[in-house]
Chains A and B, each alone.
Chain A
Amino acid sequence: ILNVEQSPQSLHVQEGDSTNFTCSFPSSNFYALHWYRWETAKSPEALFVMTLNGDEKKKGRISATLNTKEGYSYLYIKGSQPEDSATYLCAYLTTDSWGKFQFGAGTQVVVTP
């Protein structure tokens, strides 16, 4: 059984501050890691897909890094804004898990003005 863990479960950030959080996963048979951003009452929205050790991806103020050897990915939000408030889900895929993402439970981010 694969175990994907996200920490912290939730965090509160002041507007303008930067923050980061973690997705940890088993390092064997790695294929891809996806990050999704999920606002309340909306659909989860794809942020990044990461496939190579050392990958760094960026979209505006949000960026992510990947370390497949040690089994973790960091997501960073620079200069947090209230519209960044959402749950950030990571989903892990191995070479032998066709059709079966392993999701983390998400990190809920609340940005207060």
Chain B
Amino acid sequence: DTEVTQTPKHLVMGMTNKKSLKCEQHMGHRAMYWYKQKAKKPPELMFVYSYEKLSINESVPSRFSPECPNSSLLNLHLHALQPEDSALYLCASSQDPGPGVDGYTFGSGTRLTVV
């Protein structure tokens, strides 16, 4: 299995809702990442998990809460989001922490709309 699987593909949520995004990989990769991308902008790093521990938090608001229950699974819990949080949320993984020369394997993203 050489894929990163993200679910759901699309999500519409209200500002008072709580929802979660899920990301799964079975390649034995030891680092996993959450990125946020707005239209026509570069993907922006949110969080990095290395060996199941949070190693980088790019000053992301607390309404986004990451979780890594095991080495294959990465969640992003969402609560009290704002309309400006609407974006594509991309998950990626890499064999070792830091993309290095191997780069990332990406999921196809979750398109989130906050209403």
User: In the bound complex, do residue A99 and residue B31 qualify as a contact, i.e. CB atoms below 8 Å apart?
Assistant: yes
State whether the Cβ of B108 lies closer than 8 Å to any Cβ in chain A: yes
Measured in the bound complex, the distance between the Cα atoms of B103 and A105 in whole Å is 17
B97 partner, pick from A89, A99, A105, beta carbons under 8 A: A99
User: In the bound complex, do residue A91 and residue B55 qualify as a contact, i.e. CB atoms below 8 Å apart?
Assistant: no
State whether the Cβ of B43 lies closer than 8 Å to any Cβ in chain A: yes
Q: How many residues on chain A are close to B (CB under 8 Å)?
A: 25
Within 8 A of B (CB), among A70-102: 89, 91, 93, 98-102
Q: Secondary structure at chain B's binding surface: helix, strand, loop or mixed?
A: loop
State whether the Cβ of B76 lies closer than 8 Å to any Cβ in chain A: no
Interface band, chain B: 20 to 34
Q: Secondary structure at chain A's binding surface: helix, strand, loop or mixed?
A: loop
Given A41-B108, A43-B108, check contact A101 B4 (CB 8 Å).
no
User: In the bound complex, do residue B4 and residue A93 qualify as a contact, i.e. CB atoms below 8 Å apart?
Assistant: no
Measured in the bound complex, the distance between the Cα atoms of B4 and A29 in whole Å is 30
User: In the bound complex, do residue B45 and residue A43 qualify as a contact, i.e. CB atoms below 8 Å apart?
Assistant: no
State whether the Cβ of B100 lies closer than 8 Å to any Cβ in chain A: yes
Measured in the bound complex, the distance between the Cα atoms of B50 and A98 in whole Å is 12
A34 partner, pick from B45, B56, B98, B99, beta carbons under 8 A: B99
State whether the Cβ of A21 lies closer than 8 Å to any Cβ in chain B: no
Measured in the bound complex, the distance between the Cα atoms of B105 and A101 in whole Å is 13
Residues of B within 8 A of A (CB): 3-4, 9, 31, 33, 40-43, 45, 48, 50, 55-56, 90, 97-109
